[in-house]
Every structure is written in C-alpha cells, then in structure tokens.
Amino acid sequence: MGNNTTQEKTNVFTGICYGMGEVGSQMSWYMINTYLTIYYTDIVGLSAAAISFIFLVARIWDAINDPMMGVIADRTKTRWGKFRPWLMFAPPFLAVFNVLTFTVFPVEGAAKVALCLICYIGCGMAYTALCVTYGGLVNLIARDSQTRMNYTSYRATLASIIKMILSAVAMPMVLFFGKSDVANAKGYFWTTVVFSILLMPCYWLCAWRCKEVVKVENVQAPKQKEPVLKTLATMCKNKMLLIVVSNVFLGAVAIMARMSMLAYYIIYVVGSFTLIAPVFTAMTITELLGCLTLPWGTKTFGKRNYLLMMNVVMVAGFLIMYFFHINNAVFLIGISAIIGFGNSCANISTGMLSDCIEYGDWKYGIREEGLTYSYMSFGVKLATAVGGAVTVMLLEATGFVPNAEQTEATKQGINAVVNLIPAACVVVSIIPMFWYKLDKKFMDKIVAELDVRNGVKKA
C-alpha cells in the first residue's frame, strides 16, 4: 500500500456496505442464539441432556472445522481476492441450513436428536465460512488501526440496528405465522424462512463494495507457506491474540448464555410473552447508542480502556436486575437498556483482533487473517455451546418444567442463571485485559516498522 497510513480515510459508503455483512450474520445468528434453546425444549421436545450432547458434538467438530476454514480462506486465490468469493457463494448454504435447523422432522428418539445435530452442524459450518472471511476482510480494506476500528464501528452500528429490528419483530412474526398466542413450530419455521431469504443480499452487497486493496507482504519471508500446525503453534505464542480471544470467549459465554435464557426469564419469571419484544428492543436500541460511541470512545480512551468501562456498566446492570425484585415492566425495560449499552463493548474486541494480526506479523512474521479470525469464530461458537449446555443443565437443576407455572425456587434459580452467573463471567473476562498493551502509540510503531521491512514507499 503506497499511501501514508496516517492519511487513510474512512469511506462512509464502504463502511455501510461492510456493515451489511454483519446484518446478514445477525439474520442467521439472532434466531439461533436467542431462540434455539427454547425451541429445542418447548417445540421439538428435546431433553437437557440431548441439547447438551448436540452442542458438545458441534463444538468438537468446530475445533477442527474453524481453523481448517481459516487455512482454506487464507490460501484462496481468485480474481475477486481471497475472502470476497466466500461472501458471494456461501450465503445460500447458510440460508438453507438455517431453515432446516428450525424444522420439526416427523421422527422421534435418537433419529430426532441426530437430525437436529446434523442441521445445527451444517448451519455452523456455513456460518463459519462467512464469519471467518467477513471478519478477516477488514484488514484488507484498511491498514490504519483507527480506520479499521471505524469500519468495525459501522459493523457494530448496523448490527445493533438489525438486532433492534429483529428483537422487535421476531417474536411477533413467530406468533403471527403460527396464528397463536404462544410460539409454535410453524411460527418459528416461517420466520426463519423470511430472515434466511433476506440475509443473502446483505452479504452480496458487502462483497460487491469491499475490495481487497491492502497488500502487506513480507519480502523477507519464504515464498512457500509454513505447515498449518507450525503456523498454529507460532500463533499461540501471540500473547495479545490469546488475551483478546480469552476475553471474547468469557464475554461471549456471559452475553450469549444470558440471551439464550432471557426469554425463559421473561416468560416464566416475569410472566409475559408480550414483554419479550419490548425488552429485547430496549437492549438493542441502547446497544446501538453504545456502538455509535465506539469511534469516539476508542480514540479518546483507547480500545482496552473503553472496553473495560463498558464492561463495568454491563455488570452493574446484571447485578441490579438480580438483587432488585422485578415488579413492573418499566423497571425491567430500563435495566435492560443499561445492559444493552454495555453489550456494545463486544465490538471493540473485533477491532483489537485486527491489531493482533499486525502484532503477529511484526513479532513472529505470521500474517494469517483468516486463521486468526477462525480463533474468534471458534471462541464465540464454543462460548455459545458452553453457555447453552451449562445453562440448560442449570435450568433443569432449578426444577424447570416447560409450559407450566414455576415454583418460587425455580424462578430464583432462573434469575441467577440469567443475571448473576453472566456478571461473574464478565468480571473474569476483564482480568486478562490488564496485560494487553496494543495502544495507538504501539500500533503506529508496528505499522511503521512493517512498512520499512516490506519496502513500502511513503507518499
């Protein structure tokens, strides 16, 4: 890249189109993360053990599939680039497996579990192909650390907008298509069909606009690629990467496990199906507001410090909701709004991961965008599985009975699962960040030294 990185500008249209890729991702992941567990228990009729088995097997496969996808992406060479072709051709596969995941097949017993497992794994594989390449793409459309963070903020902002829309319309759509006062199989199926059709053009718009213009090649490195296992071993020495991934994993366990249980809390503790949409909408509105502050906050305080500040806000919301009895809808929506604002911090980690790629290239000569983002993808999906498996077992331990009035002890147990345990996970996730040192000054030094190494001429 021949231009001076300090003069690199953020293009608004490119930012919007890049963010549309996240809109497509949320069209898929929102339904799975928010409703799949309750769909499995209340609609499909799976036991807690069966759900845990599905999540466990899927994550074991992800441990192989995600790095493999990262390697394949990094070694892809086409006239469109190495990441954009995946955004062009993989979306229909994700759409199909989304629909299959929310399909009730006319089978029972082990066959039911097996079909749910196959569909869930297929959906996860298609999502990985898109998530890894979409995440890595930001390093190929911008070089400057803050510019990448700005594009990541567009991604976060559009993610918040679409989650706000989905939180407002998803359950009403389920009830509308199901022609019922309670969610049923038909409602979940047709809602997923609609979202799956809409996700495809979102990815295609991102692929069309976001050209891979950044070329960072180590002129001193051998032309032949290192063996995959050796590359993985070297990447594991990247302490900054491991810190960010550990933070993402623990934070995702807290947020995603909570989101998968929040519907239970509203339905069985608060006692209202109709409050699901307002609560989720309030969270996504304030998450959007939080995302809008990311360019300012990360520039003013630095990525790490602003992340820590937002985490404190989120934990405070969890604890308030746990310790104070929910006695009205306004209180519930208000505290959920505080939590939603803190939730936006997850997007800062994505910007930090881009810096970890530069650091890995500078420190170890390893620049594998796809493989690096596969760490993130696997961490998030592992968190989803761990959170889903653990919380569904904890839910069963509280004495939960589907589609029935719950005891006070069960309600208190659900409250702890939804609020107290996520608060503890976020607090633990903060600890590794005190050793993270990739601030703006350090990143400017890294980029300058990489440019010297690679013989980049300044304008």
> What digits encode the pLDDT tens for the residues 410-449?
989 999 999 999 999 999 999 999 999 999 899 989 988 9
Q: What whole-number distance in Å separates Cα of residue 451 and Cα of residue 457? A: 8
Q: Are 196 and 31 in contact (CB under 8 A)?
A: no
| pLDDT band at 20; cut points 50, 70, 90 | very high
Report CA Rg, the chain: 22
106-120, 130-144, 204-218, 226-240: range with lowest mean pLDDT: 226-240
308-340 confidence digits (pLDDT tens): 999 999 999 999 989 886 667 888 999 999 999
Using alpha carbons only, give the angle 429, 432, 437 rounded to the nearest 5 degrees. 130
- Residue 264 burial (10 A CB sphere; 0-12, 13-18, 19+): buried
Query: What pLDDT, on the 0 to 100 scale, is given for residue 6?
Result: 46
Average pLDDT, the chain: 87
Mean pLDDT value of segment 61-77: 86
Mean pLDDT value of segment 228-243: 82
Kindly tell me if the per-residue pLDDT of 452 is higher than 80: yes
Query: What pLDDT, on the 0 to 100 scale, is given for residue 445?
Result: 92
Which CATH number is 7-453 given? Answer: 1.20.1250.20
Which range of 12-16, 65-69, 234-238 scores highest in mean pLDDT? It is 12-16
Best CA proximity match to 35, nearest among 174, 161, 168, 157: 174
Phi, psi (degrees; rounded to nearest 5) at 355: -65, -35
Kindly tell me if the per-residue pLDDT of 219 is higher than 80: no
Query: What pLDDT, on the 0 to 100 scale, is given for residue 456?
Result: 63
**pTM beyond 0.85, yes or no:** no
Query: What pLDDT, on the 0 to 100 scale, is given for residue 5?
Result: 43
**For residue 337, what are the CA distances in angstroms to 127, 143, 154, 315?**
29, 34, 21, 13
Residue appearing with tokens 């069909």: 193
| pLDDT band at 2; cut points 50, 70, 90 | very low
Q: What whole-number distance in Å separates Cα of residue 173 and Cα of residue 253? A: 28
Kindly tell me if the per-residue pLDDT of 188 is higher than 90: yes
| pLDDT band at 134; cut points 50, 70, 90 | very high
Query: What pLDDT, on the 0 to 100 scale, is given for residue 457?
Result: 56
Kindly tell me if the per-residue pLDDT of 260 is higher than 90: no
Best CA proximity match to 419, nearest among 339, 342, 311: 339
Residue 17: how many other CB atoms lie within 10 Å: 21
Query: What pLDDT, on the 0 to 100 scale, is given for residue 324?
Result: 82
Query: What pLDDT, on the 0 to 100 scale, is given for residue 275?
Result: 85
19-33, 87-101, 180-194, 222-236: range with lowest mean pLDDT: 222-236
| pLDDT band at 349; cut points 50, 70, 90 | confident
116-129 confidence digits (pLDDT tens): 999 999 999 999 99
Mean pLDDT value of segment 132-141: 90
281-300 confidence digits (pLDDT tens): 888 889 889 989 998 999 99
Within 8 A by CB and 6+ apart from 119, the residues are 97, 100, 101, 103
Domain spans, the chain: 7-453
Largest CA-CA distance found in the chain, in angstroms, rounded: 70
Q: What whole-number distance in Å separates Cα of residue 370 and Cα of residue 311? A: 28
